Each structure stands twice: as C-alpha cells, then as structure tokens.
Structure 1
C-alpha cells in the first residue's frame, strides 16, 4: 500500500517524534517549521488541511473541534504521558503504513 500520509505535529509535541518519523522517510512538519507558534487550534487544523497533513496532538481541544464538525485532513490523538516517544512513533508509523489520506479525512485515530 502506498505510504502517502503526511504529518503535522502540534505545538507541544517533542521534536524527537519528528526526528523519529523522518528517519523512517515520513514527511512531517513541526509547528515551528510552519510558523504556527502561538496559533489557535483552528489555525493549526486549517494549515494542516490545506497541506493535506494529518495532525498529531496530545491536546483534547482538537477532539472538541472534530466533534463540532470542523473540517480536517485527520487527527491522531494520544493522551499526554500515556505513551512513550517510541510508542507514539510506532503508532504513527502504523497509521502511515496502513491508511491512506482519504481514510483519515475528518477521522480521529487514537494511540
């Protein structure tokens, strides 16, 4: 299956996750790289959607936006301090390996 999901990391996600994904060939952008430091969650989703990127977050406000039917390219959510950095990277790699961008549209995956 083609690996076409592209990722965007929310503001509070450690850069180690971006580094781990990049070492495996996954296209990922951080909040800092996108110039979104201090941006609202809605702005993060708008940028991610415009670039067809699935956003990884540990902020449950994104779940509220999803429930409010805010359009997005996909959200991957993990509760803070629930998983190690390695477990998060493995979970994101699985999503990248098995799902297509259209399967993630307006969909939430939980790690």
Structure 2
C-alpha cells in the first residue's frame, strides 16, 4: 500500500492495537507511549503533534476544547466510540488517502 503524506499520533486513550493495525497497513503513526508523553498535559501533546505535523487520534474531548479555544493543530481525528476499533483503523487509513496535511490542519474529523 502507498504511504500517505499524513502521519498520525495516537493519544494514550487509544488502544495499542489501533497503532499495530495502522502500521500493518503502512501508516506512519506514533503513540503517546512511543514518544514518552504519557501523563503530560493535553496542550503539550497537541503542540507535539503540531510541531511534528502529526494528526492526533483521540477520544479525549479536552482536545476538542483546545481546538475550539484556537490552539493550532495538525488535525484531530476524534473517535466517538460508536464504531469499533476495526472501523476506526479503516477510517484513519481512508483519511490518510483522502486528505493532505494542508487540508486537514486545524480540522476535526469524527470517526
């Protein structure tokens, strides 16, 4: 599968097997654990994603509030948990094909 220009970062509230599934599909993704950000403030994680141009995948509504407050970000995929993990992986993979880093910047997508 072709590698997308979009890179992802999974918040600590996203199950680890989501990262494994994305990596199997060839997606470039990091996790909060990978980059040693566990327990840091949300604004620090959002800044990490912005500075590394990684779209944040989360189910933590605090990130939505930060976005609403005007914090710049590389994009947010918010998992509503109405869909299962397998569907979340497919949704993220599809986002990687359909969006560009420029188009998704400061945008919130719901999965």
TM-score normalised by the shorter chain: which range applies? over 0.9
Q: Hey, what does 1:83 align to over in structure 2? A: 83
Report deviation, 1:64.
Answer: 0.6
Q: Hey, what does 1:38 align to over in structure 2? A: 39
* Structure 1 unaligned regions, length at least 5: none
RMSD: 1.3
* Structure 2 unaligned regions, length at least 5: none
The count of aligned residue pairs is 110
Deviation per CA, 1:51-83: give whole Å up to 9, x if none: 10000000111111111010100000012x322
Report deviation, 1:27.
Answer: 0.3
SS of residue paired to 2:57: strand
Q: When the two structures are superposed, what TM-score results if normalisation uses the length of structure 1? A: 0.95
Q: Hey, what does 1:63 align to over in structure 2? A: 64
Q: Hey, what does 2:19 align to over in structure 1? A: 18
SS of residue paired to 2:8: strand
Report deviation, 1:2.
Answer: 7.1
Aligned equivalents of 1:83, 1:58: Cα separation in 2: 12
